[in-house]
Amino acid sequence: GAVVSQHPSRVICKSGTSVKIECRSLDFQATTMFWYRQFPKQSLMLMATSNEGSKATYEQGVEKDKFLINHASLTLSTLTVTSAHPEDSSFYICSARDQRQGVRWNQPQHFGDGTRLSIL
């Protein structure tokens, strides 16, 4: 079945560092990928929708200059947290669904394993 791979799984770094997280669809093409953030015991909050070959669509309240998204190919999207601070510490999860022609339109979104980001 469809698999989404996310890397790294855990990052611990100093305040002010920029951190890049990669999300890959392993056996399908994803023109759209989604980035979520989850704080402890809270819901997954959609941060942005990553669109292959065009600009990402950010949800209200998410700073696009802080969270840079690049979706350069049909299988890879990256999220860069620029100049990270302790309040950016969270669980970041990417998601994608198979949108190839001929694939049933009601395919579920599959999730990467998530990246736990800790900023000291």
Partner 1 sequence: GQNIDQPTEMTATEGAIVQINCTYQTSGFNGLFWYQQHAGEAPTFLSYNVLDGLEEKGRFSSFLSRSKGYSYLLLKELQMKDSASYLCAPRGYNKLIFGAGTRLAVHP
Q: Which residues bind partner 1 (CB under 8 A)?
A: 6, 32, 34, 36, 42-46, 49, 91, 93, 95, 106, 108-114, 116
Which residues are within 8 A (CB) of 22 and not within 5 positions of it... i.e. 6 or more apart? 6, 7, 76, 77, 78
Question: Which residues does residue 45 pair with via DSSP β-bridges, in sequence order?
Answer: 37
| CA–CA–CA angle 31, 35, 37 (5° rounding) | 170
Smaller CB distance to partner 1: residue 51 or 70?
51
Smaller CB distance to partner 1: residue 32 or 82?
32
Smaller CB distance to partner 1: residue 19 or 37?
37
By DSSP bridging, strand 67-73 and strand 57-58 are: unpaired
Which residues are within 8 A (CB) of 31 and not within 5 positions of it... i.e. 6 or more apart? 51, 52, 74, 99
Which three-class secondary structure state does DSSP give residue 1? coil
For tokens 């704080």, what's the residue?
39
Smaller CB distance to partner 1: residue 29 or 32?
32
